Chains A and B, each alone.
Chain A
């Protein structure tokens, strides 16, 4: 079974902090994705990565950056956290041509 692990289930940070969300997959998948999920808005793509050191902006990249130094790990970075970044963050991975598999999410609160 595919396992996508997100480092924290719940996280509370303060405005202006630099926040790191980590995601690790154990299936040697090429593609990895970061989404945020908000009530009434559904899942929206922030960034994705085709392969190591490669990244592409999604629909809502403003205020975020990503890092993929190793194939199994994809990090989402909030450069200076703001209250409108309070959300559920979901990481996914897939092998090309296969369905995406998701982690259980990080519920992030920015105070």
Chain B
């Protein structure tokens, strides 16, 4: 149990366009999902906490107008990178948790390349 599906696994887009990444919990309901960004050879950086039915909570330094998060249901959260630029190229990973007894389950990640 506790499977999180993330799509797409990789995407290449032109500078100035927007890209949407989906994160789904397949076999459990997740009231909270998390979005991370990972730079090469570095650990994960939490970008925002996505709460079902309410606004996301962004970490300091993360532009909420740049990284739009929507958590419309208990099984789906989306991250939209708006007006993408080459510096937004990175590896984005989502995670979800059912409750404290189950820990965190991660998606397989999305490699975004902005050209």
Asked if A pairs with B, the answer is no
Q: Report B's interface with A, CB cutoff 8 A.
A: none
